[in-house]
Amino acid sequence: MVDMSNVKLRIENIVASVDLFAQLNLEKVIEICPNSKYNPEEFPGIICRFEVPKVALLIFSSGKLVVTGAKSVDDIKNAVNKLTEMLRTKVGTQFTKPPQIDIQNMVFSGDIGVEFNLDAVALSLPNCEYEPEQFPGVIYRVKDPKAVILLFSSGKIVCSGAKSENDAWEAVKKLLRELEKYGLVEEEEEW
């Protein structure tokens, strides 16, 4: 049995959609956004990069945003607060209500701490794909919570599609239960 206290997960990226509940004049917004790009012929929004917190924002005239590159939910909240404050004080934007932030995807990297024979995993485990000529890991799909886990022979994993850290942990626990159920994880010996 894999000791869950040895399993490590680290947030690599969080993507969120945001509604600011205000129309934006992108010609004015581009003037106040440092490290940004706006070419409406190529893309209908502003691509803005903040150094602190280190995120990228796609800003649309509808007042909708996509925030990516965050390492925590607080990074997203801080970036949205920073942008709304800039819009309020420098452009005079009026907001009808507080921003609505919806986490769309969280990506975690991790290590189960056990090596695997991926051929055996792919033959035994349901809901997985393995084509080593195309990709060196097993793709395991979890239905609830909805997530995809990439499992590598080294025991390293990538979990994406989770909407919270708790969902990622639940998905990893389900994978580990399946691996144990099919005898793909060695029982730890007591010394």
State the CATH number of the domain containing residue 70: 3.30.310.10
Domain count, the chain: 2
Q: Are residues 86 and 115 in the same domain?
A: no
Structural domain of 120: 106-182
Q: Are residues 92 and 25 in the same domain?
A: yes
Q: Are residues 72 and 89 in the same domain?
A: yes
Quick check: is 137 in a domain? yes
Up-side HSE of residue 5: CA atoms within 13 Å toward CB?
0
Q: Are residues 92 and 150 in the same domain?
A: no
Under the banding of pLDDT at 50, 70 and 90, the label for residue 2 is: low
pTM of this prediction exceeds 0.75: yes
**Per-residue pLDDT reduced to its tens digit, 24-43:** 999 999 999 989 999 999 99
Q: Any residues with CB less than 8 A from the CB of 37 and at least 6 apart, and which? A: 46, 47
Q: Are residues 91 and 158 in the same domain?
A: no
**Per-residue pLDDT reduced to its tens digit, 46-65:** 999 999 999 999 999 999 99
